[in-house]
Amino acid sequence: MCPQIYLDNAATTKVSNNVKQAMLPFFDELYGNPSSMYAFGQQAKEKLEIAREMVAKCLNAKTNEIYFTSGGSESDNWAIYAATQIGMRQNKKHIITSLFEHHAVLHTLKKLEKQGFEVTYLPVHSNGIIRVQELKNAIRPDTCLVTIMFANNEIGTIQPVQEIGNICRENNIIFHTDAVQAVGHVSVDVDKMKIDMLSLSGHKFHGPKGVGALYVRKGIALSNLIEGGAQERGRRAGTENLPAIWGMAVALQDAVNEMEKVAAYELNLRDKLFNALSKIPHSAINGDKDIRLPNNFNMCFEGIEGESLLLLLDDAGICASSGSACTSGSLDPSHVLLAIGRPHEVAHGSLRLSLSKYTTQEEIDYVISKVPEVVDYLRNMSPVWDQLKKGVRKHVL
């Protein structure tokens, strides 16, 4: 078996050893129900509130502004439903978002469109970043919500969140950001950036899966998501997943503490990838080269299919991802790559590599030697590449 090189950290990350150790006592010593009256339950309750405080501190939020959820998708859904409930009460039924949001946002908005909401989808342009002026132009008297992601999960580009926050605050519009890719990787300050609601997920920064949080600024009426017990201030019933919540809090604290160091480390390896793989002819970097997450690499190679590339890289022991939605059984190219203006045939030939603090120099060297080989191999078999070579078809990259 070839070495297993994991370069899909935007999909999920390994739980760090420190986090794993921190979670263990919750299974056999601290397993009380935080809602129980006796001391054993209250001990768990205390830990729950410490975890909430830890998460809040990492975002510069207040403790009572943090709600625990099952992950990024739930946080996105909840934030959007809550904000539009408020909008409905004020007869405001217009929402602004971007074309390249995560499906947890886009599919929720599609559902709301069927219920009578109007949605404006801002373009993200070839650099993968929205233009603030276009946001300003899209604002209407009945706009109740702006939901724009902090950093994109496919191409890693970072949006001008603070400017968006300022504009929304000036116009009295709720600003939600899906910060699942950003939290723990780049600095996030909800107060300074005037963010009203923010989604995060534990498994994107070396915490466990199935746990996340929603930050909701004090003063915003958050509607209930799950009816039942009084957990999460009565807004999301169900016994808390304390081992996971604690694991996420520890993971976030660790990620924030070592953020600068890890970012510099990843950036160095990431740029080595860009420099080496940009030498492949008829290729292009997707998204702004610099205004992006330090661990995100994404390129298109003309004349190949992303799916075949992934399969061959898998054979070589490399776990990577493509812009095309091959895993969902759909042949549609990525909505993100189409949003930045890549033509269909090019959007199919994309490669995303997302690094972590566990990625090594040796692994990157191996990838740098392997990818050009695989791209060459696939191009030689491709009828499209043959047409490009013969000049029957024109190059777009």
Give residues in contact with ligand PLP (CB under 6 A). Answer: 71-73, 102, 104, 149, 153, 178, 180-181, 201, 204, 212
Tell me whether residue 44 or residue 79 sits nearer to ligand PLP (CB atom). 79
Nearer to ligand PLP, 127 or 321 (CB): 321
Beta strands 66-69; 212-216: pairing state: antiparallel
Active site residue 326: yes
* Whether the Cβ atoms of residue 85 and residue 135 lie closer than 8 Å to each other: no
Provide the b/e sequence for 285-307 (b: ≥16 CB within 10 Å): ebbbeeebbbbbbbbbbbbbbbb
Which residue minimizes CB distance to ligand PLP? 72
Q: Which two tokens stand for residue 284?
A: 């292009």
3-state SS, residue 85? helix
Q: Shortest CA distance to 288 belongs to which of 279, 278, 297?
A: 297
109-129: b (≥16 Cβ within 10 Å) or e: beebeeeebebbbbebbebbb
Label the pairing between strands 197-201 and 212-216. antiparallel
> Tokens 């990350």 belong to which residue?
13
Min separation Cβ 178 and ligand PLP, Å:
5
Residue number, 127 or 157, with CB nearest to ligand PLP: 157
* Backbone angle region of 36, left / alpha / beta, with phi > 0 → left and psi within -120 to 50 → alpha: beta
- As measured in angstroms, the least distance from the Cβ of 73 to ligand PLP is 3
Nearest distance from C-beta of residue 65 to ligand PLP, angstroms: 20
For CA atoms 76, 79, 84, 87, the dihedral sign is negative
- Whether 180 contacts 153, CB under 8 Å: yes
Structure tokens at 314: 């898998």
Q: Which of 58, 168, 300, 326 is catalytic?
A: 326
Q: Considering the complex, state which of residue 178 and residue 240 has its C-beta at the smaller distance from ligand PLP.
A: 178
Q: CB of residue 71 vs ligand PLP: minimum separation in angstroms?
A: 3
Task: Supply the minimum distance, in Å, between the C-beta of residue 91 and ligand PLP.
Answer: 30
DSSP assignment of 210-266: S-EEEEE-TTS-PPPSB-SSSTGGGTB-S---HHHHHHHHHHHHHHHHTHHHHHHHH
Q: Considering the complex, what minimum distance in angstroms separates the CB of residue 153 from ligand PLP?
A: 4
Q: Residue 97 or residue 181: which is nearer to ligand PLP going by CB?
A: 181
Please say which residue, 26 or 205, places its beta carbon nearer to ligand PLP.
Answer: 205
Task: Indicate which residues carry an active-site annotation.
Answer: 326
